[in-house]
Amino acid sequence: MAKAFRASAGIMLAPAVTLIGVFVLLPMLLTIWLSFQDWSTQTPFSQATFVGFGNFQEIFGPTSVGRDFKTALVNTAIYTALSIVLILPLSVVFGLLVYQREVAGGTALRTVLFSTYMVPMIAVALVWSKLYSPSEGPLNQLLGLIGIGSQPWLSSPRSALVSIVLLNVWQQVGYFTVLAIAGLTQIPGSLYEAATLDGANRREQFRFITLPLLRRTLLFSAVIAIINAVQVFEPVALITQGGPVGSTNVLTYHIRRVGIERAQGGLGSAMAVILMLSLIVCVSALFAFVNRRDSE
């Protein structure tokens, strides 16, 4: 009976496992193999030449290739950190507002928040590029009405990356708000009733009940937010093209420029491997931190 069950389970899982192997694992293994090769994307794989860790030495070296890569890596890290720092607290705040049934307009707010996530990033990028326009942009016009001077937004190296982060937060926060609401629904109402009887106010209930019981939901949200952030491409490609002065040159855009535009497939693959390893390290560290806090 057990053998028959395992056989039927294997048959049912075989199509999904095959698709994952073909479209996920195989490209990953191919990318890792190419990262050790000197290969141009304009030539077949058969012409790749093994160079060992040469590509990795070059992207971390003192040459212009290394400097551009390290700049892109730092920009990606800053973009990811700022996105998470803004998205997670906002998702909890909006989730609490929507979840409170006595608050008027909760359903409308939920619809508006999630609708931003449904808009294609290409459309979002084009609209926000107009909002950020230094002369006729609505944002600078609104700032002028309250006595604040025009801001450079995308035209300044100091503010360009932050401007892209704000665009990302606007689109993503609705999705993570839905996740926060899902976590809030799993908290028993009896805990709040008992806390109220014990004299705990709203702030204390949030600190000692809501946040601890939302920890797993926030962990999942953080992991998804990190994955989404390191994959940012459309806003950079459509609005800034990595500028000004490389301030928005993130890794995904830089890998595309090196691997496709410059046809340096080996170098691009090495950069992609570093991006993948960085993502694995960040997510693993996040899980380890949360598990350590749970065990305390």
pLDDT digits (tens, 9 = 90+) for 191-207: 888 988 888 888 898 88
Phi/psi-derived region of residue 200, left when phi > 0, alpha when psi is between -120 and 50, beta in every other case: beta
Residue 126 counted as domain residue: yes
Indicate if the pLDDT at residue 178 is higher than 70: yes
- Tokens matching residue 256: 């595309």
For residue 59, with 0-12 CB atoms within 10 Å meaning exposed, 13-18 middle and 19 or more buried, which class applies?
A: buried
Position 160 scores a pLDDT of 94
> For residue 80, what is the enclosing H or E element?
helix 64-99
Torsion of CA 109, 110, 112, 118, to 10 degrees: 170
pLDDT digits (tens, 9 = 90+) for 238-248: 999 998 999 99
Residue 28 counted as domain residue: no
Indicate if the pLDDT at residue 3 is higher than 70: no
Position 16 scores a pLDDT of 78
What percent of the chain is predicted at pLDDT more than 90? 51
Residue 146 counted as domain residue: yes
pLDDT digits (tens, 9 = 90+) for 34-76: 999 999 988 998 899 999 999 999 999 999 999 999 999 999 9
pLDDT digits (tens, 9 = 90+) for 276-288: 999 999 999 988 8
Residue-range definition of the domain harbouring residue 205: 71-295
Residue 57 counted as domain residue: no
| Total of domains in the chain | 1
pTM of the model: 0.90
Rounded to whole angstroms, how far apart are CA atoms 255 and 215? Answer: 34
Residue 62 counted as domain residue: no
Indicate if the pLDDT at residue 143 is higher than 90: no
Neighbouring C-beta atoms of residue 152, cutoff 10 Å: 15
Position 199 scores a pLDDT of 86
- DSSP letter string, 44-68: -GGG-EE-TTHHHHHHTSSSHHHHH
Indicate if the pLDDT at residue 104 is higher than 70: no
**Weakest mean pLDDT among 36-40, 86-90, 115-119, 215-219:** 115-119
CB 78 within 8 A of CB 161: yes
Neighbouring C-beta atoms of residue 140, cutoff 10 Å: 19
- What does the pLDDT average to over 108-118? 78
Residue 113 counted as domain residue: yes
CB 88 within 8 A of CB 222: yes
pLDDT digits (tens, 9 = 90+) for 156-176: 999 999 999 999 999 999 899
- Domain harbouring 166, CATH code: 1.10.3720.10
The runs of H, that is alpha helices, within 137-264 are 138-145, 160-185, 189-197, 202-205, 211-213, 215-230, 234-235, 251-256
Indicate if the pLDDT at residue 123 is higher than 80: yes
Residue 241 counted as domain residue: yes
Indicate if the pLDDT at residue 101 is higher than 70: no
Indicate if the pLDDT at residue 249 is higher than 90: yes
Residue 32 counted as domain residue: no
